[in-house]
Amino acid sequence: MNIREIADKLITLSQKEGADQAETYVVLAKTSSVYIDDNIPKIADVKMELGINVKFITGKKIGFTSSTLLNETPEEVVIRAKKLASLSEEDTKFVSLPEPQQVSGNRERFYDKKTANVSSDEILEKAMLVVDSTISNGITVPNGVLRASSVDYQVKNTQGIDTGSMGTQVFGYFTAKSDKDGAVGEGVQRCWSRELGNIDFAKMGTKLQAQALAVLNAEPFKAKWEDITAVLAPSEGCEMLGNLVGSACSAENVNNRSSPWTDRVGDKVAHESLTVYDNGQSENGLLSGIVDAEGFPTQKTLLIDHGVLQSYYYDSYNGNQVGLESTGNGIRRDSRDAHGSFNNLPSCASSTLEVSAGKYSVEELIGQIKKGVYIEHFAWPQVDAISGSFSNEIRNARLIENGELTTQIKYALLVGNLYESIQKEILYAKDLQVNSKRFMPTIAFSGIELVGQE
């Protein structure tokens, strides 16, 4: 059976078992990958996973279950979902599964055949291109992974939705270690794309090498700089801004009142320099599809316009609670891992968060900063999306003094509150890049502290 036939069968069985409403999501994911270890391809793997789930609804009682059908039948899965629904409490906030909408576009719109059908030899060759472009005297590639995946999913429900979408996603992560006269350093590079052909692997290796070498010159930062500007590379800044905005604009967090931006549509929540979209049809988005994981059409939603909160984003569950339609943000997939999405209920999550490119190169942007720090890599770019606070350890950074990059530093924390920092002017470079679920450039935030080992 193909995924459409399986979806048909699961809905037919659910109706036969007396479901008032039912929904199924059937997904086939395939991945080919190579893991690099100590400069060589250590593990090469191929995987195929077929997963299903069923949401069985009786009144407002919902049972959800999933399976890979390796050791059970669709009938057994539906019976289990029915049992769960019968034992459940009512979800008083549930209104209905979504109704069918006009879906435009071909389900293959965000699917790249070449990426989906990449051979094991080709992916090995690309990964080794990064390695060969990185290694030199004193520089090795201890770790790396490159994988190319395809997903094909079908969503069907009792309200008439019967649709799906396909996608491809590529993820790479490589580290380089430099070692000179007893000093060690590390560079980190990631790549994300819907198409393998869009990634310049040799350039990635060259950048990785340069990062690893630069870190060797780092000096311990022994001061405390207050009220400075931090210029964050796309991989770091987009993760922090994306987590903050993505969490604060999620209708799930708004409806349950854990978002600081609850009841604030129309309010100025940030400086006028901040405009953010959620784009479920982003050409660059790893989770882009013509429909979301509930079968609802995806769209581009303006969240913040020149600092003013315009909208939250919705899945059908949260939209129904406030009488609004879904914005196509019922998400089950993960931008890094194509497998396992069938185990998830749709969650109200961002698809691809986008901000526009600025007009400056990174160098020009740095040229405008009197006192600050340019950060290429944190230990991890985290932010507490509830309070906005962050304190992140710097792994690869240089000070900015009077518009110039000066000392490479180590042993320092970047400390601040991002809800407060976005009240001040934000600067953008023009180097837009996809990183996980964000499409954003280098970003500069101000009002931040740099804390060293005094």
Partner 1 sequence: MVHLLLEAMSDAIEEISSKDVSFADIRRESQSGNTIIVVNGNLREFKNVSKAGAVARVLVGECWGQASTTLPLSKELYEELLEEALKRARASAKYSRKNIDLSNIPSHVDKVFQKVKEDPTTVPYEEKIGIALELDKGQKIDDRVVNTNAYLMDQKRDYALVNTVGSRLEWDEIRTLSYIMSVAKEGEQTQFNVEIAGGSGGYEIIRKINPEEFSKSCASGAVELLKADKPPSGELTVILDGSMSGLIAHEVCGHASEADEVVKERSFLTGLVGKQIGTDIVTMVDDGTLKQWGGIPFDSEGTPTSRTAIIENGILQGYMHTLETSVMMGVSPTGNGRAQDYNRRIFARMTNTFFDKGDWKDEEIIEDTKDGLYVIKMTSGMEDVVGGGVQASALKGYIIKNGERTKLVRSMTLAGKVLEILKTVDAVGNTLEFDGGTCGKGEEDFIPVSSGGPHLRAKIVVGGG
Footprint on residues 29-58 left by partner 1 (CB under 8 A): 31, 34-35, 37-38, 40-51, 53
* Residue 145 interacts with partner 1 (CB under 8 A): yes or no: yes
Tell me the DSSP string of 42-57: EEEEEEEEEEEEEEEE
- Does residue number 410 form part of the binding site for partner 1 (CB under 8 A)? yes
46 burial level (CB within 10 Å; 0-12, 13-18, 19+): exposed
Residue 453 C-beta: closest distance to partner 1, Å: 5
Q: Is residue 65 part of the contact set for partner 1 (CB under 8 A)?
A: yes
Q: Which stretch binds partner 1 (CB under 8 A): 1-9, 11-19, 28-36, 324-332?
A: 28-36
- Which residue from 137, 63, 15 is spatially nearest to 345, judged by alpha carbons? 63
Can you tell me the distance from the alpha carbon of 318 to that of 94, in angstroms, rounded to the nearest whole number? 9
Among 25, 64, 110, 360, binds partner 1 (CB under 8 A): 64
Contact (CB, 8 A) for 53 and 84? no
Shorter beta-carbon distance to partner 1: residue 86 or 361: 86
Q: Which of residues 90-129 bind partner 1 (CB under 8 A)?
A: 90-93, 120-121, 124, 128
CB within 8 Å of 180: residues ≥ 6 apart: 138, 216
Q: Examine residue 59 and tell whether it contacts partner 1 (CB under 8 A).
A: no
CA separation for the pair 202, 413 (Å, rounded): 32
**Between 157 and 281, whose beta carbon lies closer to partner 1?**
157
Residues 147-176 that bind partner 1 (CB under 8 A): 173, 175
Q: Which stretch binds partner 1 (CB under 8 A): 3-11, 283-291, 304-312, 338-346?
A: 338-346
Neighbours of 130 (CB within 10 A): 27
From candidates 197, 382, 404, 406, binder to partner 1 by CB under 8 A: 382
- In sequence order, the 6+-apart residues with CB closer than 8 A to the CB of 434 are 192, 193, 284, 285, 286, 352
Q: For residue 182, state whether it binds partner 1 (rule: CB under 8 A).
A: no
Cα separation, 368 vs 401, whole angstroms: 10
- Using the rule CB under 8 A, which residue among 158, 310, 415, 423 binds partner 1? 415
**Is 181 an interacting residue with respect to partner 1 (CB under 8 A)?**
no
Please state the closest distance from residue 404 (CB atom) to partner 1, in A.
25
Nearest distance from C-beta of residue 248 to partner 1, angstroms: 10
Fill in the per-residue mask, 341 to 380: x = in contact with partner 1 (CB under 8 A), - = not in contact.
-xx-x--------------------------------xxx
Q: What is the per-residue DSSP string for 251-264?
A: HHHHHTT-STTTT-
Is 84 a binding residue for partner 1 by CB under 8 A? The answer is yes
Which is closer to partner 1, CB of 1 or CB of 302? 1
Query: Mutual orientation of helices 201-216 and 120-134 as an angle, nearest 10°?
Result: 30
The reply on whether position 27 binds partner 1 by CB under 8 A is no
Question: Binders of partner 1 among 289-328, rule CB under 8 A?
Answer: none
By CB under 8 A, what part of segment 188-227 binds partner 1?
Answer: 224
* Among 436, 395, 394, 391, residue whose Cα is nearest residue 415: 391
Q: Which is nearer to partner 1, 41 or 328 (CB)?
A: 41
DSSP calls for 337-398 = --S-GGGS--EE--S-EE----SB-HHHHHHT-SEEEEEEEES-----TTT-EEEEEEEEEE
Q: Does 67 bind partner 1 (CB under 8 A)?
A: yes
Characterize the bridge pairing of strands 353-354 and 438-440. Answer: parallel
**Which member of 362, 400, 413, 432 binds partner 1 (CB under 8 A)?**
413
